[in-house]
Structure 1
Amino acid sequence: MTRLRRIAIVGTAGAALAALAVVGLLALDRAYPPPLPEKMIVSAEVVDRDGQLLRAYATASGHWRLAVQLDQVDPQLLKMLVAYEDKRFWEHEGVDLLALGRAAWQFAANGRIVSGGSTLSMQLARLIEPREERSIGSKLKQLARALQIEQRLSKREILERYMTLAPYGGNLEGVRAASLAYFGKEPKRLTVSEAALLVALPQLPERRRPDRNAKVAQAARDRVLARMVSAGLLGESEAARAALDDVDAMRLALPALAPHASDAALRNAPGADRHQLTLRKSVQAGLEAVAREAATRLGPKISVGMVLADAMTGEILGEVGSANYFDASRSGWIDMTRTVRSPGSTLKPFIYGLAFEQGLVAQETLIEDRPADFAGYRPKNFDMSYQGDVSVRQALQLSLNVPAIRLLDAVGPQRLTARFRQAGVTPSLPAGEKPGLAIGLGGVGVSLRDLVQLYTGLANGGRAKILRDGSEASTPSPLANGAILEEQAAWQISDILSGVKAPEGAAKRTIAYKTGTSYGYRDAWSIGYDGRYVLGVWAGRPDAGAVPGLSGYVSAAPILFEAFSRSGLPAMPLPRPPAGTLRTVRADLPVTLERFSPAGQLPTVASTAVTEPAPQIVFPPDGARVELGAASEGAAPLVLKLQGGRAPFRWLANGKPLSTLERRREATWQPDGAGYSTLTVIDAAGRAASVKIFVE
Structure 2
Amino acid sequence: MPRRARILLCLTALLALSVAEKLLYEHWVRATELPTVLSETSTEVRDRNGNLLRVYTVENGRWRLHVSPDQVDPIYIDMLIAYEDKRFYRHTGVDPVAMLRASGQALFNGQVISGGSTLTMQVARLLENSGTGHWTGKLRQMRVAWALERHYSKDQILRLYLTHAPFGGNLEGVRAATLAWFGKEPHRLTMAEAALLVALPQSPAARRPDQSPDTARLARNRVLERMTQYAVLTPSAAQAAQSERLPQTRRPFPALAPHMADAARRNQPTQTRHHLTLDSSLQRSLETLAKSALRDLPKTASIAMVVSNHQTGEVLASVGSADYSGAGHRSGYVDMAQAVRSPGSTLKPFIYAMAFDRGLAHPQTLIDDRPLSFGVYTPQNFDGQYRGVLPVADALRLSLNIPVVALLDQIGPAHLMDLMRRNGVQAQLPGDQAGLAIGLGGVGVTLTDLVQLYAMLANQGRSRQLIWQAADTSREGAQILSRSAAWQVSDILSGLAPPPGAPHNRLAYKTGTSYGHRDVWAIGFDGMHVAGVWIGRPDGTPLPGAFGGDLAAPILFEAFQRLKPELDPLPPPPPETLLLSTAELPAPLRRFTGRNAPFEKSPNAPKLIFPPNGARLTLDAGMLPVKLRDGEPPFVWMANGIPVLGGQHRREASLPALSAGYSEISVIDAKGRAARVTVRLD
- TM-score of the alignment, normalized to the shorter chain, above 0.5: yes
The within-5 A match list for 1:215-614 is: 215-328=214-327, 329-431=329-431, 433-470=432-469, 481-507=477-503, 509-568=505-564, 571-599=567-595, 601=597
CA apart distance, 1:83? 2.1
Residues 47, 55 of structure 1: 8 Å contact kept:
yes
Q: Residues 263 and 535 (structure 1 numbering): CA distance in 2 closer, same or farther, change over 3 Å? A: same
* Paired AA for residue 339 in structure 1: A
Tell whether 2:60 aligns with 1:74.
Answer: no
Distance in 2, Cα, partners of 1:692 & 1:504: 50
Structure 1 match to 2:58: 59
- Match of 2:419, SS state, is helix
Question: Would you say the 8 A contact 1:581–1:655 is kept in 2?
Answer: no
Distance 1:176 1:644 in 2: 82
Cα–Cα, structure 1 residues 56 and 543, in superposed 2: closer, same or farther, change >3 Å? same
Deviations 1:448-487 (A, max 9, x none): 111112222112222222323239xx969958x4442122
Q: CA deviation at 1:266?
A: 2.1
Task: Work out whether 1:666 is the aligned partner of 2:652.
Answer: yes
Q: CA deviation at 1:90?
A: 2.3
Query: What letter is aligned with 1:65?
Result: R
Q: 2:152 aligned with 1:153, yes or no?
A: yes
One-letter amino acid matched to 2:484 = Q
CA distance in 2, matches of 1:107, 1:400: 90
8 Å contact kept, 1:355–1:407: yes
Please report the RMSD computed on the Cα atoms of aligned residues, expressed in angstroms: 3.2
Shift of 1:13: 5.0
Residues 625 and 652, structure 2, Cα contact 8 Å, conserved in 1: yes
Residue 534 of structure 1 aligns to a residue whose secondary structure is: strand
Partner of 1:181: 180
Within 2, Cα distance between the matches of 1:571 and 1:624?
Answer: 44
Partner of 1:588: helix, strand, or coil?
coil
Cα offsets for 1:549-579 (capped at 9, x unmatched)? 2111111111112112223597433233333
- Confirm or deny: 8 A CA contact 1:620 1:641 kept in the other structure: no
Matched residue, 2:40:
41
Structure 1, unmatched stretches of 5+, are 629-637
Secondary structure in 2 aligned to 1:464?
strand
- What is the identity, as a one-letter code, of the residue corresponding to 1:363? P
TM-aligned CA distance change 1:303 to 1:167, over 3 Å: same
**Structure 2: which amino acid aligns with 1:460?**
N
Distance 1:599 1:459 in 2: 27
**Aligned-partner Cα distance in 1 for 2:24–2:601:** 110
Q: Classify 1:393/1:84 alpha carbon distance in 2 versus 1 (closer, same or farther; 3 Å).
A: same
- Distance of aligned partners of 1:550 and 1:475 in 2 relative to their CA distance in 1, 3 Å threshold: same
Which segment is superposed worse, 198-207 or 490-499? 490-499
- Per the alignment, in what secondary structure is the counterpart of residue 463 of structure 2? coil
Distance 1:204 1:394, change over 3 A: same
Between the aligned partners of 1:468 and 1:100, the Cα distance in structure 2 is: 58
Following TM superposition, by how much is the alpha carbon of 1:138 offset from its aligned partner in structure 2, in angstroms? 1.7
> Residues 68-125 of structure 1, C-alpha deviation per residue, up to 9 Å, x if partnerless?
1223222222222222222222222222223223323333333333334222111111
1:528 and 1:692 map into 2 onto residues whose CA distance is 36
> Helix, strand or coil: the match of 1:330?
coil
Q: Determine the structure 2 residue equivalent to 1:681.
A: 666
Residue 556 to residue 117, structure 1, CA distance change in 2 (3 Å): same
SS at match of 1:515: strand
Q: 1: distance between equivalents of 2:506 and 2:192?
A: 47
How much has 1:581 moved relative to structure 2? 2.2
Asked if the contact 1:579–1:674 (Cα under 8 Å) also holds between the matched residues in 2, the reply is no
Deviation at 1:653, TM superposition (A): 6.5
Gaps of 5+ in 2: none
Q: Does the 8 Å CA contact 1:164/1:175 hold for their aligned counterparts?
A: yes
Summarize the Cα distance change of 1:622–1:607 in structure 2 as closer, same or farther, 3 Å threshold: closer
Distance 1:440 1:147, change over 3 A: same
Structure 1 residues 133 and 142: CA distance shift in structure 2, 3 A = closer
> SS of the residue aligned with 2:666?
strand
Match status 1:126 vs 2:111: no
User: For structure 1, which segment, 497-506 or 662-671, has the greater mean C-alpha deviation from structure 2 after superposition?
Assistant: 662-671
Displacement, 1:66?
Answer: 0.9
How far apart are the structure 2 equivalents of 1:513 and 1:651? 34
Partner of 1:651: 637
For 2:218 and 2:473, the matched residues in 1 are separated by 55
Structure 1 residues 640-649 or 330-339, which shifts more? 640-649
Q: Secondary structure at the match of 2:146?
A: helix
Partner amino acid, structure 1, of 2:626:
K
Q: Report how many aligned residue pairs link the two structures.
A: 677
Residue 641 of structure 2 is aligned to residue 641 of structure 1: no
**Cα offset for 1:233?**
2.8
SS of the residue aligned with 2:464? coil
Quote the offset at 1:8 in angstroms: 6.1
SS at match of 1:345: helix
Does the CA-based 8 Å contact 1:538-1:556 persist in structure 2?
A: yes
Between stretches 59-68 and 295-304, larger displacement belongs to 295-304
TM-score normalised by the chain length of structure 2 = 0.91
